Amino acid sequence: MQAHLIRLGDKKELEQAAVKIGCGEGSLSYFDARREMLQIYVTGAPSPAAAVIKQEMLSRGGDAAVHAQVITCGVKESDVIIFGTAKQLGFLAEKLEKMPWWKLPELAADIRSLVAPFEPRRVETPCGAELPFGSRMLLMGIINLTDDSFFAGSRCGDDVSQALRRALKMAEEGADILDLGAESTRPGSGRVPEEEEMSRISAAVRAIRKELPKMPLSIDTTRSSTARAALAEGADIINDISGLQFDEKIAEAAAEGRALLCVMHTRGTPQNMQEQCGYEDLISDVCQFLRGAARKAIDSGVEKEKIIIDPGIGFAKNYNQNLMILRHCESFKALGYPLLIGASRKRFVGAATKKETPAERLAGTLAVTALCAAARADIIRVHDVKENKEAIMMAEAIIGADYE
C-alpha cells in the first residue's frame, strides 16, 4: 500500500474517482457533503450565540473560532469563524433555525444559502442570445467611447466606425459580451455631460447591433437616462459601477427593458474613491454591500436571475485589498449571483509586475484571468480578447481534466 494526497476539487472529480474505485453511485451525495471543509465568517455574534455555535459544531465534529473571553462572557459579542463540511453546516443551520434568540434563525438561512452550490443557468438576453453562467467563464470585451480612458489602446472617442471595427474584431476573437462605456471612471476622472454620454452610447449600440444582432451588449453607465437610451437601441446589460448609489432609477430602467443588471461595489466617486479604502472587514463589507445592492435591484423589479455582482477591483481599494478580493472570489460566488471581475491592465497589476504603464500589463492580466477561471468567476472584463481567451482555454482545460 502507498498513499498520496489529493484534492477532489468538485463533484465531477469526486464522481470520477469514486467510479474508478468501484464505489456505489448511491453514496456519492453522502461523500460530496464531506468532500471539503468550509469556513464561514460571522460578524458581531452576541457572546451567548457564539458559544452556542461553537458547542453545536463541536458536537458534529466541526469547530468554531471565537473570542477567548466568550466562555466567561467577558465580551458582549464576537466574530466567529465556523469550520465544517457542507453536511455539518447543514446540521448547524437545522439546529439554529429552531432557536428564536439572537437572530439565530436568520443566521441559519444565511448559512444554508452560502453552502448551497451555484447552479449553472442559462439567461436569455433581450437580443435573443443566451449567457451560460456557471458552465464556463465568459469574456467581456471593453470598448471605450472616450478620449481619456486609462488604457490608450481601448479608446475610440466618438468615432462610431472605429468602435464597430473593434466590436467585430472582438466578436471574431471570441468575446461573449461587449461592454461599451462613454465616461471614464479611472481614479480622478471627471463626469461627462449627460447628453454627450447618451449620444455616443446610442450611436455605437445602433451600429454594432446592426452588424452583430445576437451579440450581448453591456452598457457601462451610472445614469438611468443613458441606460434607457441604450436599451431602446438594443442593449442587453446595464453595468452600474456605483452599485445603484448614484441613480437608483437605473434598476427600474433595467427592469423595464428586461435587461440584466450588474451592480459593483465602490465608495465615493472616481474623484475621491481612493481616499476611502478603510474597511472594518474587507470581504464582509463588500459582500454586505453587494447583497444590499442586489436586494434594491430586486425591489425595483429586476429578476434575481438577471443580477450580476462585481466586487470592484481598483474602486476604493488599495493594492493589497485588490489582491485579497481576487484571492477570495468564492466569498462572492457564494452570494448566489454570477460574478464579474474587471482587473484588466489596472494599476495593481503594474504594481505586482513592476510595469508602470497599462500598455505593459498584459502578462499580469493574463495571470489574473487564469486564476479567476480556476476560481469559477463567471465573467472576466478585458481589453485584449484573443490573449485572454487563450488563457481561459488553458485554465479550463486543466479544470476539466478527467480523473484517470
pLDDT, one tens digit per residue, over 314-358 is: 999 999 999 999 999 999 999 999 999 999 999 999 999 999 999
160-173 and 385-399 helices, crossing angle to 10°: 20
Segment (H or E) for 307: strand 307-310
Of 130-144, 157-171, 203-217, minimum mean pLDDT range = 157-171
Question: Of residues 355 and 14, which shows the higher confidence score?
Answer: 355
Region(s) of the chain under CATH 3.20.20.20: 121-399
Q: Give the model's confidence band at 7: pLDDT under 50 very low, under 70 low, under 90 confident, else very high.
A: low
Please give the Cα distance from 313 to 324 (Å, whole number): 10
Percentage of the chain lying above the pLDDT 70 cut: 92
Please give the Cα distance from 167 to 246 (Å, whole number): 28
Query: Residues 142-147: what's their mean pLDDT?
Result: 86
Of 146-155, 272-281, 393-402, minimum mean pLDDT range = 146-155
Question: Of residues 301 and 34, which shows the higher confidence score?
Answer: 301
Taking the CA atoms of residue 382, residue 388, residue 394 and residue 396 in that order, the dihedral angle to the nearest 10 degrees is: 20
User: Which active-site residues does the annotation give?
Assistant: 346, 381
pTM: 0.90
Task: Work out the end-to-end distance of the chain between its first and last CA atoms, rounded to an integer number of angstroms.
Answer: 19
Q: What would the pLDDT profile of 226-280 be if each residue is shown by its tens digit?
A: 999 999 999 999 999 999 999 989 999 999 999 999 999 999 888 888 888 999 8
Q: Give the model's confidence band at 17: pLDDT under 50 very low, under 70 low, under 90 confident, else very high.
A: confident
Please give the Cα distance from 300 to 317 (Å, whole number): 28
Please give the Cα distance from 261 to 324 (Å, whole number): 25
Query: Residues 363-388: what's their mean pLDDT?
Result: 97
Question: Of residues 159 and 386, which shows the higher confidence score?
Answer: 386
Please give the Cα distance from 146 to 184 (Å, whole number): 7
Q: Which fold has domain 121-399?
A: TIM Barrel (3.20.20)
Q: What is the pLDDT of residue 5?
A: 56
Taking the CA atoms of residue 398, residue 399, residue 402 and residue 404 in that order, the dihedral angle to the nearest 10 degrees is: 70
